[in-house]
Structure 1
């Protein structure tokens, strides 16, 4: 916008300051920046999330926002955070530990904010595309680091992992690869083959990276489940049979040509064997040990749990005079249900499962936004069998961003459809 002779720079800035549309655009930009930075940085996500909240403040319709919090899709995430805060009252660990343990659930408070804002903004799809583009750039960087580890953006980087860790990276790549299946099928059916082929190439790039560079065992287990959901929802039986056959053939080829894939898959049995025979603290063995002890902790306080931040103290007590895997002390049992149940008992489990259920129901319709949101929730549910992914930073933010943006797009489309029906003659 140019400044006319009749309007000074201060006057222009004041007009922009008072313009709700300008503030809304600023909030959209910060949401896009959150999506771009999520695969790369934790601190930038926190900075841009704070900036998003600040930018929404001046012209926030407080009454409308509070009204939106009454919806279960918004109220339940807030309830889980409130339970974490209240749970500090019956925990027996130091207050610093209790307050620190509230933090992982705090990101859930951004979910109602994103749902409210992007119901009124048309830039939700741009946020999701920004996340896809950022993950694609990370995938390119992963290949570069695989060939030259010195180019990694962190010291002591894992093979093919330029930032963060291979679990976060696999989570992002698996989600992007599967989510692209829906637009690919839609484009193919409408004979827009050029764009369909481009998206197929992008999806395959993510898959090939996971096969030949690095992949987490969690992604190996959950990705087929996500693909099965896609096949059942969007393919006829004939196409499902063809897809299964093609997948089996490609899977066999990948198994024969990818030492990384074979090594990752074989660690399941090897880790379990070493744990059972030698009591070694392998990844699989530790999880079994954590789960066994966690069930005992839950049985001791089944209704309200042991309180916020109590997990590490319980494992420290259980590790006394133990050795090997049994002597390991952690503050995260690597299972979302157990994490919640130890701290807040059956009440916490009810709230957690209610969150997943209402968000699944939100995405039960048709359309790209519904498909993206469904995959985000399905992935989080199944990966949370092996990790506390709703509370982990990267995976938790993927859930908040995915459900918040895709959910708001679904709600926005629903409102627009209802408006068209009511105005039709």
Structure 2
């Protein structure tokens, strides 16, 4: 078989195998597939990410890559992984438990790889688009499952109403990120007077919020949404616009509150869970968190410098659960549902310092204007605040949202800054809307 240029299929394949550009395109494709599969499947995410890493190898400039690892934004995530490995040496947990506890930190090693690749690739925006499109499709499935529960892959759990795959916490994290991330291109489009496209993206953003209001939403998302909206308003809007939009949002929230029993039920669980735990000693989600936070602080005080070691959490909580002060019915987990405390128990002040260094360095990376800066900043802020109630940097789904968001957006930002430095003028990064038809 020959091509139009007279080459056989084998010759074409061989030429592409020897082409750095072809390998770079393949790496981009697997990065896009990783982002697109994240809302749906943990297995596909792992497979596509492995393929992404493998395809990086054939034409990787190892000298340049190793040099890039010296940057603080790359070194800090690596340091947390190395601390987790070192922490196995002073832990009292079984060795299998210690190595298992190292696992959640391994994905942080992908951040430097993504940063390196997307400094050189111009296709970072397609990763964002793929994730947005995938979440939009998941939103449609969520509505279908809400009306036809039999379609769900997780039937039978009332908390998972409207959830097709995974769980309502992961789904709320995705929808929140997508909805608020769209605010930036909407504002840019309105300034450019491209009203129909701004309306389309606004409708898409509202569809995510409507789903969370009437189908299912996590309490963590309810807490973080106002913070993320306030961040956008302070960075990108005038005070007059903030006042107008705040009034509209308050009116919309009031309508959603009156119209959605599901939203009222979710908000009511805050006070209900606290009352049941404090007054009647009934184990609830909030009650469990209070138990774990109180005990985690005590564990941290016992070993404040280097902690109790990697994987020590379950043994510590299991021992305490056999005492009289433990609330009957509270389950035993290795995770205190707070990222700072989870790190503090295992690695003490050293771990906390590394964790906060990661967050601060990545926040500083996204100080400029442009879509990539906005998405990167939003990813970090969301992770920081949701980690008050969960260990989201170590959780699979939210952890990969952070890794992909920071890695792709960070690489895009660095590439744009280098382009500006070479040209000598500030060339603003194109927003997502600029890749769409006029």
- For normalisation by structure 1, the TM-score amounts to 0.97
Per-residue CA distance 1:209-249 (angstroms, 9 max, x = gap): 00000000000000000000011111111111112211111
Distance 1:2 1:417 in 2: 44
Distance 2:129 2:4 in 1: 36
Kindly state the Cα deviation for residue 10 of structure 1 after the two structures are TM-superposed.
Answer: 2.8
Residue in 2 that maps onto 1:96: 96
Per-residue CA distance 1:126-185 (angstroms, 9 max, x = gap): 011000000000000000000001111345462100000000000000010101011101
Distance 1:312 1:5 in 2: 64
Distance 1:184 1:302 in 2: 47
Residue in 2 that maps onto 1:418: 421
Residue in 1 that maps onto 2:433: none
Per-residue CA distance 1:372-417 (angstroms, 9 max, x = gap): 1010000000000000000000000000000111111111110111
Matched ranges for 1:165-244 at <5 A = 165-244=167-246
- For normalisation by structure 2, the TM-score amounts to 0.94
Distance 1:223 1:315 in 2: 32
The 8 Å contact of residues 145 and 152 in structure 2, kept in 1 or not, is answered as yes
The 8 Å contact of residues 37 and 44 in structure 1, kept in 2 or not, is answered as yes
Distance 2:294 2:198 in 1: 47
Residue in 1 that maps onto 2:123: 123
The 8 Å contact of residues 183 and 368 in structure 1, kept in 2 or not, is answered as yes
Residue in 2 that maps onto 1:384: 387
Distance 1:239 1:27 in 2: 41
The 8 Å contact of residues 369 and 406 in structure 1, kept in 2 or not, is answered as yes
Kindly state the Cα deviation for residue 12 of structure 1 after the two structures are TM-superposed.
Answer: 2.4
Distance 1:217 1:16 in 2: 49
Change over 3 Å in CA distance of 1:2–1:363 after alignment to 2: farther
Distance 2:118 2:378 in 1: 19
Residue in 1 that maps onto 2:141: 141
- What is the RMSD computed on CA atoms of the aligned residues? 1.6
Residue in 1 that maps onto 2:308: 306
Distance 1:414 1:5 in 2: 40
Distance 1:177 1:421 in 2: 35
- 2:88 counterpart SS class: helix
The 8 Å contact of residues 105 and 391 in structure 1, kept in 2 or not, is answered as yes
Runs of at least 5 residues in structure 1 that lack an aligned partner in the other structure: none
- 1:89 counterpart SS class: coil
Asked whether 1:397 is paired with 2:400, we answer: yes
Matched ranges for 1:38-187 at <5 A = 38-156=38-156, 158-187=160-189
Matched ranges for 1:339-418 at <5 A = 339-418=342-421
Q: Which region of structure 1 is more displaced relative to structure 2, 134-143 or 315-324?
A: 315-324
Alignment counterpart, residue 274 of structure 2, candidates 272, 275, 284: 272
Q: Which region of structure 1 is more displaced relative to structure 2, 261-270 or 323-332?
A: 323-332
Distance 1:409 1:358 in 2: 16
Kindly state the Cα deviation for residue 14 of structure 1 after the two structures are TM-superposed.
Answer: 1.8
Change over 3 Å in CA distance of 1:67–1:325 after alignment to 2: farther
- 1:324 counterpart SS class: coil
Runs of at least 5 residues in structure 2 that lack an aligned partner in the other structure: 428-438
The 8 Å contact of residues 275 and 325 in structure 1, kept in 2 or not, is answered as no
Distance 1:360 1:423 in 2: 21
Kindly state the Cα deviation for residue 277 of structure 1 after the two structures are TM-superposed.
Answer: 1.1
Change over 3 Å in CA distance of 1:5–1:246 after alignment to 2: closer
